[in-house]
Chain A
């Protein structure tokens, strides 16, 4: 069994990329995992084409939750919101690598859940939401 605690995960945990807060995010969402006490906040700033101009995460918790959040910020940077919306669990899990138990999956996927909550809330509240959501 390959350990999930790879050099890469530890590096992202010890030296998180894109950690912090944005001054004027259009999208901001936060959630926690009551079992572990992991907390993740995700913020996105969009350009006029609805692409991710900047992204930050903030939070605390286990290495898996924090490293996966940091990895996710790198994945979404520059992406169109539509593509962000379609990021799958599998993409995140392949970035993390290694095997995770069902309980620890929640840690790994917390940041994606927060991100999607933020994106859907934003799309639902903007004028063009109808078009965005009606796409297949």
Chain B
């Protein structure tokens, strides 16, 4: 514990008090195998602060009701809280209007919605969809399906050995013409690379190409301004940004959402239903068929409050600081290879690595023995794994509550694995 204090008093750089922040997250009190849990799988899902847990509790205990339908008090309270959450999220990403925020289950559903409702009517025979080699499966498979159905083709922007997009690929693809959509991740969930979306979007738009951004790894970790990025769509998940599972967002520019056909149809998204035809509500409501995840949206609203209070700029600075520390410390481990850009300025808080020939799952199991939670495997990015020439990596991903002391424990444990495997 003495060491911990030393680390903190000498190296503390965050704009907020990390020890104070940690007390907001009840799960961080847990011990695994007699040691405090070190949670470093934040790219998979983040932990939840008590404020979010209480918001869910409050909803279910005090004003649980369906939204819009009821004329009674608690239904109105639920509706207000649900729409308030939409407004908070719009504010968080600087959308022009809350109606540009569509509640969905998560990033995957957001991308599927865009592919279904926008893609089907705007991407046809002979058109192209441009992706990158570092996409998560959720930003590959929906486009493969669409391309197959509509006779479109897929084009890819390759990556350099240090995990950056090859700009020449982008230029060649876009100049070849007929590229209707560029769908790319903002921050790679494997390499941590932050892609220059703003510049790429500007270039894409010059060629009449729309831009969808997978913000699953960026929205929780840094200030995002959709008007500045000028992306047409932004998809992200609530559960990676301190919110509950089952809720996420598709942001879309208003004029695009208005033109789009519904995704799912049925209750609550309609204006009028007759026996043989129906008319639909305006966006975002026409995309929110049936009873949505009301509690989830309210929980995400509370998570948004939490992040706004800390400040996303501060969260980004903290992430960057811890990532830099991790890159340095892991970089000193003999036989350890780190994937992705070496400069913490151009990467998010994701550090993928392999130690010599130790399989990623063996590494993750050994770290688990020491109470450290990391991810191992292909991270739902098999094409990227092929590009990197590995079957799997171990991934440590940090968030606003992680400390340098936790990185020290990670490194100690990685070194122990090295000794056991006689590296």
In the complex, what residue of chain A is closest to B392 when comparing beta carbons? Answer: A37
B33 and A1 within 8 A (CB): yes
Beta-carbon contact of B361 and A5 below 8 Å: no
A63-B359 in contact given A14-B422, A37-B378 (Cβ < 8 Å): yes
Please report the C-alpha to C-alpha distance between residue A35 and residue B379 in the assembled complex, in whole angstroms: 10
* Interface of chain A: mostly helix, strand, loop or mixed: loop
B392 pairs with A3, CB closer than 8 A: no
B391 close to A (CB within 8 Å): yes
Q: Report if A107 contacts B (CB, 8 A).
A: yes
B422 touches A63 (CB 8 A): no
Given known pairs A4-B365, A101-B368, the reply for A10 and B420 (CB within 8 Å) is: yes
Indicate if the CB atoms of A36 and B420 lie closer than 8 Å: no
In Å, the complex CA distance between A104 and B369 comes to 13
Closest residue on chain A to residue B358 by CB atoms: A63
The CA-CA distance from A4 to B391 in the complex, in Å, is 22
Q: Is the CB of A62 within 8 A of B420?
A: no
Report if A78 contacts B (CB, 8 A). no
B365:A104 contact, CB within 8 angstroms: yes
Cβ contacts under 8 Å, B36 to chain A: none
> Are B377 and A5 interface neighbours, CB within 8 A?
no
Q: Which residues of B have CB within 8 Å of A5? A: 362, 365-366, 420-421
Q: Which 3 A-B pairs have the closest CB atoms?
A: A62-B359, A37-B391, A62-B361
Of A4, A35, A62, A101, chain B has the most CB atoms within 10 Å of the CB of: A62
Shortest Cβ distance from residue A17 to the other chain B in the assembled complex, whole angstroms:
18
List residues of chain A with CB under 8 Å of any chain B CB.
1, 3-5, 10, 14, 35-37, 61-64, 101, 104, 107
Q: Which B residues lie within 8 Å of A107 (CB)?
A: 361
Residue of A nearest to B363 (CB): A62
Closest to B370 in A: A3
The smallest C-beta distance from B379 to any residue of chain A, in angstroms, reads 12
Nearest-CB residue, chain B, relative to A39: B391
Interface size class of B (residues with CB under 8 A): 10 to 19
Query: Which residue of A is nearest B366, CB measured?
Result: A5
Chain B residues within 8 Å of A63, by CB: 358-359, 362, 421
The reply to whether A36 and B422 form a contact with Cβ atoms under 8 Å apart is: no
Distance A62 CA – B377 CA, assembled complex (angstroms): 11
Contact yes or no, A36 B365, CB < 8 A:
no
Q: Which of B33, B359, B365, B366 contacts A61 (CB 8 A)?
A: B359
Given contact pairs A14-B422, A37-B378, A3 touches B359 in the complex (Cβ within 8 A): no
Distance in angstroms between the alpha carbons of A132 and B362 in the assembled complex? 39
| 9 other A-B residue contacts (CB within 8 Å) besides A5-B365, A63-B362 | A4-B365, A5-B420, A10-B420, A35-B377, A36-B377, A36-B392, A61-B359, A101-B365, A104-B365
The CB with the most chain A CB atoms within 10 A, among B33, B366, B420, is that of B420
Question: Which residue in chain B gives the minimum CB-CB distance to A64?
Answer: B362
B361 CB, min distance to chain A CBs, angstroms: 5
Return chain A residues, CB-CB under 8 Å to B365: 4-5, 64, 101, 104
Q: Which residue of chain A has the shortest Cβ distance to B34 in the bound complex?
A: A1
Interface 0/1 of B121-143, CB less than 8 Å to A: 00000000000000000000000
Contact of A62 among B33, B362, B368 (CB under 8 A): B362
- C-alpha spacing A36/B391, complex, angstroms: 8
B137 to chain A, nearest CB (A): 13
> Which residues of A lie under 8 Å from residue B378 when comparing CB positions?
37
Chain A nearest CB from B215 CB (Å) reads 27
> What residue of chain A has the Cβ atom nearest to residue B365's Cβ?
A104
Min distance, Cβ A56 to any Cβ of chain B, angstroms: 21
Q: B361 near A104 (CB under 8 angstroms)?
A: yes
The docked-state distance in angstroms from the alpha carbon of A4 to that of B392 is 21
A104 / chain B contacts, CB cutoff of 8 Å: 361, 365
Docked complex Cα distance between A104 and B422 (Å):
22
Q: In whole angstroms, how far apart are the Cα atoms of A63 and B362 in the complex?
A: 7
A residues less than 8 Å from B422 (CB atoms): 10, 14
User: Can you report 20 A-B residue pairs in the complex whose CB atoms are below 8 A from each other?
Assistant: A4-B365, A5-B366, A10-B421, A10-B422, A35-B377, A36-B359, A36-B361, A36-B377, A36-B392, A37-B377, A37-B378, A37-B392, A61-B359, A63-B358, A63-B421, A64-B362, A64-B365, A101-B365, A104-B361, A107-B361
Contacts of A4 in B (CB 8 A): 365
A1 to B32, CA, bound (A): 11
- Inter-chain contact A1/B361, CB cutoff 8 Å: no
- Contacts of A10 on B, CB cut-off 8 Å? 420-422
Residues of chain A with a CB closer than 8 A to B420's CB: 3, 5, 10
Q: How far is the CA of A30 from the CA of B27 in the complex (A)?
A: 42
Cα(A64)–Cα(B421), bound, Å: 12
Cα-based distance from A37 to B393 in the complex (angstroms): 12
Report the minimum CB–CB distance from A105 to chain B (whole Å). 12
Give A14's nearest chain B residue, CB to CB: B422
Complex-state Cα separation, A13 to B227, whole angstroms: 54
